[in-house]
Amino acid sequence: MGAGAGADKVRVLGKGALVNTAARAARITYREAMRQAIREALQRDPRVFLMGEDVGKYGGCFAVSKGLLDEFGPERIRDTPLSESAFVGAGIGAAMGGMRPIVEIMTVNFSLLALDQILNNAATILHMSGGQFNIPLVIRMTTGAGRQLAAQHSHSLEGWYAHIPGIKVLTPATIEDARGMLWTALEDPDPVLIFEHQTLYNMEGELPADAGPVDIERARVRRPGTDISLISYGGSLHKVMEAATQLAAAGINAEVIDLRVLRPLDTATIIDSVTRTHRAIIIDEGWRSGSISAEVSARIMEGAFYELDVPVARICSAEVPMPYAKHLEDAALPQVSAIVEAARSLTGSNG
């Protein structure tokens, strides 16, 4: 770009993408942010394509890809048969062949039908080929509960995937992360799994005018504090932020950590926070046993044991298949009131 009058109002992002920094921040939904991310990836790189069940004519199970078939055509927006193992396997093959596929799985529950492809192929081919073959594959899927979709569609299994070496596990909880994580993931030479919490799609927020790719390595301090660290991710983050607001009204200054990336886990940010606050609660929509909250708790005990004034606490989902009935679903999930009560207890502010 020449040195014209508008040249100072743009900055370059990634592969030459231009962002108008003079424009105002846009108010959009999480769903629209994801759609923007996919659209721009398709525009930037001819190797990128989207594939999955109902991503084309139907526009995606959660309407994320609505309109993209008309814009890009069936070669790049590919409806697939109802076989997760088959189309995830096809995505792995396409990635090995030099493409940059985005594979959409409707819900995390259905990803188990492709677990052999994800664990035994995508995550291990680089190792088993002696470093000869990377798998630059992105798999997107919906996770979590809160919309009465019962046990077939509502579990939070991202912690399981965080156990697997050879992949990255992302949990965007904000508009900017929903918009910016995809492009960074597509540039990664290895498989990246993106878990989108189903309750976030209608969430509205401000997307900065100069928003661009974001890193997929580090956690974020969403609210600084001094009295207790509240550590969470994904759909639970917004409950934690509400709890922090209520705690502030009671004189408790809570720090909120958004993990954002479950593998690799940003241990340094976690330990730094706990070292300053001396108390920690981990809020995780997964089941308590063998959960990501257990891993975070263990890392705190290993790295900041003598900084703790009280034992680490965890708030997780009830260890039951997710109920359909609204009152039972609410009872099974971490809620703001439970977070507030636990924080007051750990800070000696109960009563």
- Residues annotated as catalytic (active site), given as ranges: 84, 153
Report the C-alpha gap between 212 and 237 in whole angstroms: 22
Sheet of 77-79: strand order equals 77-79, 48-52, 100-107, 138-143, 192-197, 168-170, 261-263
Whether residue 264 has a cis bond before it, omega within 30° of 0: yes
Report whether 77 contacts 56 (CB < 8 A). yes
Q: Where are the beta strands (DSSP E) in 16-114?
A: 17-20, 26-29, 48-52, 77-79, 100-107
For 331, the 3-state DSSP assignment is: helix
Characterize 54-69 residue by residue with b for buried, 16 or more Cβ atoms within 10 angstroms of its Cβ, and e for exposed. Answer: bbbeebbbbebbeebb
Report the C-alpha gap between 217 and 112 in whole angstroms: 25
Report the C-alpha gap between 242 and 339 in whole angstroms: 10
Report the C-alpha gap between 115 and 121 in whole angstroms: 9
Any bridge partners for residue 255, and if so which?
229
Report the C-alpha gap between 261 and 244 in whole angstroms: 21
